[in-house]
Amino acid sequence: MKKIILLAGVLFAVSTTVTSCKKDYKCKCSKTYSSGSGSTTNDYSSYIYKDTRARAEDRCNANAETGSDFWGNYSINCAIE
């Protein structure tokens, strides 16, 4: 009987440490154009990631970039809300 209780305890401990807490995290990005007269920031996009907090932050930060287009130089910054 003791072996069964011990085994059940070990299985419970292993199952709770192996599974991770996945939730929905909202990643919100903004696009900032910079020019000689200042800068303009606008909402750009948003994403929902169902993952752990650390992985969702990594995925969100991967959306950041800089570049230029017809309206000038820009930077896209993203963060978990």
Tens-place pLDDT, residues 42-62: 999 999 999 999 999 999 999
Residue 58: closest CA among 47, 42, 45, 74? 47
With a cut of 90, say whether residue 7 has pLDDT above it.
Answer: no
Long-range CB contact pairs, 19-22, < 8 A, 24+: 20/52, 21/52, 22/50, 22/51, 22/52
pLDDT of residue 38: 85
Q: Determine the 3-state secondary structure of 4 from DSSP.
A: helix
pLDDT of residue 35: 82
The full 3-state SS of 61-79, as one line of letters, equals HCCCEEEEECCEEEEEEEE
**HSE (CB half, 13 Å, CA atoms) of 73?**
7
Note the pTM of the prediction, 2 decimals.
0.68
